[in-house]
Amino acid sequence: MPVVNYYLLWLCLENAGTASPATWKSHAKTLFDYFSWLSTNGFAWNAIADKKTAG
């Protein structure tokens, strides 16, 4: 997913403290879980919430 790749690239370039493989694995797993949850529940990652249903 391009948006995840862009985020990870930004993270790499902006935060030099992400050299640990454990950190990258943690980020990858968390992002995979989040996007899987969105997909399973029919949500788009970039959808804008409807004010009537958001709260």
CA–CA distance, 44 with 41 (Å, rounded to integer): 9
Per DSSP, 41 falls in state T
Query: Mind listing the pLDDT tens digit for each residue in 7-55?
Result: 888 888 887 667 788 888 898 899 999 999 999 999 998 887 776 665 5
Choice between 44 and 5, residue whose per-residue pLDDT is larger: 44
Give the pLDDT score at 14. Answer: 82
**Beta strands in the chain, from DSSP E residues, in sequence order:** none
Give the pLDDT score at 24. Answer: 83
Which contacts of 36-45 are long-range, i.e. CB under 8 A and separated by 24 or more positions? 45/3
Domain residue spans in the chain?
A: 2-41
Task: State whether residue 46 is helix, strand or coil.
Answer: coil
Give the pLDDT score at 47. Answer: 85
CA–CA distance, 55 with 50 (Å, rounded to integer): 9
